[in-house]
Chains A and B, each alone.
Chain A
Amino acid sequence: MAVVSTRNLTKVFKEGELGAVNNVNLETREGEFLVFLGPSGSGKTTLLRMIAGLETPTAGEILIGGKVVNDLTPRERRIAMVFQSYALYPHLTVYKNIAFPLKAQNVPKDQHKQKVEWASSLLGIGDLLQRKPRELSGGERQRVALARAIVREPSVFLLDEPLSNLDAKLRLSAREELERFHRRVGTTTIYVTHDQVEAMAMGDRIVVLNKGVVRQLGSPKEVYDDPADTFVATFLGSPPMNLIENADVICGFRPEHFRLAEDMKETAKINFQFRVENMEYLGAEYILSGNIVGGKVDGKKVIARLLLGHSFELGKTYDFAVPERHLKFFDVKTEVKVAPRPLTWQ
């Protein structure tokens, strides 16, 4: 087990251009599952590849287990990585794929069989050992990739979007499997994804990245409930947080906190007239989108998410409200979180 940390880590691919990763300072905790979350181009994969040793940092340091590893090869960093494409060796059988790291790191030959069997049984692929990768399904390939990663018991796991090549159904079960697997081996894991649901579900903590900069680092709950800026606020959650500019701040509230006023028990709340323009029925809930009517923010588009139990008509206006404690405040210019303040809405 080891802790990975970065100090002012920066990667600039082309001189004079904006860095892919800028000044990143992070530290994992022992045995935690840390997720790098961000849209494509946010620098999350580059950051991971620098930690793996596949990319040389332009500036800054990477530490694994307290040691600077900038000049170490991937082999010397004692990490394991699972690639988005799994990068299985197509000409080798599953057994040889899994045994490859053992061979490469000169583990005595008599231990190979036992270790491969251990890793493959952990992932339930014991009966696939003599197959070639092309004879495996997507889920099986992912498990082989994982087995190959754990077989030499690395100090850190790096996973680069390992679920993105699976179809939706398989993805859910694979996700659960990964979580269970992590609980079992307890190795420090860094997981890269652009899927906020995955991040929320799996991460002990989430690092939200945008344009090579860390926007927020926190537990899923912190990141969701208390976003550090408007980027985090809108990137997480589906549908995203409603943002309404009022005076010198941006106010935000989650769609699920925008409800019919009559259902609301809270007394400290802000009332809005909401005209429903569109309605999506999702089985367990509605997604309503429409405009606020009247008041200071007349005409602003907002989205509401409601459980079933009411019926709405398109074009009609309803009494809606947001509990005050669920209002978030961001600076208009910097878009960074600021302290709550009283505002007039009418």
Chain B
Amino acid sequence: MAVATGKIKSMGAAKSPLLGFAMFSPAILYIVLVIGLPFVMAVFYAFSDARIGSNELHFVGLENFRSIIQSPSFQKSLQNSIVFTIASQVIVMVCANILAIALEKPFRGRGLVRFLILLPWVAPVSLGTIGWKWILDSIYSVITWVLVWLHLVKPFDTPMWLGEPRLAMTSVVLVHCWRLIPFSTVILLAGRTAIPKEIPEAAAIDGAGFWRTTFQINLPMMKPIIAVALLFGTIFTFTDMTVVYILTAGGPFDSTQTLPSFAFATGITGSDLAAGAAVSVFLVPVLVLIAYLMLRMAHRAEMA
């Protein structure tokens, strides 16, 4: 075994760069085909007049961007995307940190609890969200049923979880959090276990209580890993349309429409590929900047 490993290492490292490339190529191929190519096409389309059903393309410069910026649905989607991302990331970070603290120390049944908490992430997002759609349905909602049964609301004036703009946005955010919290929890748990155990012990001896240790020692030390979790979460949230699409399809009247769902509605169902592409790449520069800043912060904190 040791011999074999050594051989591969030397071949890969020194003698045959081809092997290294061969080992790497599936990943590159995957990224190029599944992410790179569609992205390049999206950028390409965003500056063209492409439509589903048109046979040729023309370069139209910034015309698509000029056009979509004027669309009230786009403006609302942009605003919603930002609200959706920030609100869900704040909630996810708070809950994931609490969970990570709770799950750090061993207790009876911790394995089972960890497994249960991971489930929402493991389950296909569409299935989970459809479950929530039933839970929040206007006619068959179990929550509403319980509230009616408890006489907390009147049968014909029940809260419309997906019908009132604020409630709908809250529901979408919370369902998204439900799905994302496990992921962040796992990342943060890994981050917590990476802190040498003497450090919180030293803080305890220095006289710090739970809150001071958490906020002045543990969390600052987890900055790089929190930045990574936040970066992933932000990107997952910003680019996610499943939750919105299944729960509200952007309604009521665009009040939960986000950029990805609006891009889909415009580009695919509305067959205006160019406008859809423009919507979807609109915030790429911003996202790239956010990613860059977060990675730099993570890197800096790691060096410290």
A and B touch in the complex (CB under 8 A): yes
Q: How far is the CB of B43 from chain A (nearest CB, A)?
A: 39
A307 within 8 A of B: no
B199 within 8 A of A: yes
Q: How far is the CB of A93 from chain B (nearest CB, A)?
A: 10
* Residue numbers in B under 8 Å from A53 (CB-CB): 204-205
B61 within 8 A of A: no
- Tell me whether B199 and A89 are in contact (CB under 8 A): yes
Interface-side segment among A33-41, A97-105, A177-185: A97-105
* CB closest chain-A residue, reference B202: A87
B221 within 8 A of A: yes
The size class of the interface chain A forms with chain B is 20 to 34
- Tell me whether A101 and B201 are in contact (CB under 8 A): no
How far, in whole Å, are A52 and B220 apart by their CA atoms in the complex?
25
* CB closest chain-B residue, reference A77: B205
- Tell me whether A75 and B304 are in contact (CB under 8 A): no
Known interface pairs A87-B202, A89-B217; A101-B196 also in contact (CB < 8 Å): no
Known interface pairs A74-B205, A81-B202, A100-B203; A91-B303 also in contact (CB < 8 Å): no
* Residue numbers in B under 8 Å from A164 (CB-CB): none
How far, in whole Å, are A152 and B204 apart by their CA atoms in the complex?
14
Q: How far is the CB of B301 from chain A (nearest CB, A)?
A: 7
A73 within 8 A of B: yes
* CB closest chain-B residue, reference A107: B207
* Residue numbers in A under 8 Å from B212 (CB-CB): 103-104
Known interface pairs A87-B199, A89-B217, A104-B212; A54-B304 also in contact (CB < 8 Å): no
How far, in whole Å, are A303 and B201 apart by their CA atoms in the complex?
45
* Residue numbers in B under 8 Å from A283 (CB-CB): none
- Tell me whether B203 and A83 are in contact (CB under 8 A): no
* CB closest chain-A residue, reference B204: A74
Partner of A83, one of B202, B207, B208, B220: B202
List residues of A (256-312) whose CB comes within 8 Å of B's CBs: none
- Tell me whether A91 and B204 are in contact (CB under 8 A): no
At the interface, is chain B mostly helix, strand, loop or mixed?
A: helix
Partner of B304, one of A74, A90, A101, A148: A90
- Tell me whether A104 and B206 are in contact (CB under 8 A): yes
B76 within 8 A of A: no
A4 within 8 A of B: no
- Tell me whether A90 and B208 are in contact (CB under 8 A): no
Q: Mark B267-304, 1 if CB is under 8 A from A, else 0.
A: 00000000000000000000000000000000001011
- Tell me whether A52 and B205 are in contact (CB under 8 A): yes
- Tell me whether A80 and B205 are in contact (CB under 8 A): yes
- Tell me whether B303 and A134 are in contact (CB under 8 A): yes
* CB closest chain-B residue, reference A160: B198
Q: How far is the CB of B25 from chain A (nearest CB, A)?
A: 38
* CB closest chain-B residue, reference A76: B207
- Tell me whether B209 and A87 are in contact (CB under 8 A): no
Q: How far is the CB of B166 from chain A (nearest CB, A)?
A: 39
A56 within 8 A of B: no
Partner of A91, one of B198, B206, B207, B304: B304
Q: How far is the CB of A100 from chain B (nearest CB, A)?
A: 5
* Residue numbers in A under 8 Å from B114 (CB-CB): none
How far, in whole Å, are A101 and B203 apart by their CA atoms in the complex?
8
Q: How far is the CB of B192 from chain A (nearest CB, A)?
A: 15
How far, in whole Å, are A83 and B301 apart by their CA atoms in the complex?
23
- Tell me whether B198 and A83 are in contact (CB under 8 A): yes
How far, in whole Å, are A54 and B304 apart by their CA atoms in the complex?
27
Partner of B198, one of A87, A148, A152: A87
A23 within 8 A of B: no
Known interface pairs A85-B198, A87-B196, A91-B223; A104-B301 also in contact (CB < 8 Å): no
List the 10 closest pairs (A to B, CB-CB), nearest first. Answer: A87-B202, A104-B207, A87-B198, A101-B206, A105-B207, A75-B207, A104-B208, A74-B205, A83-B198, A91-B220
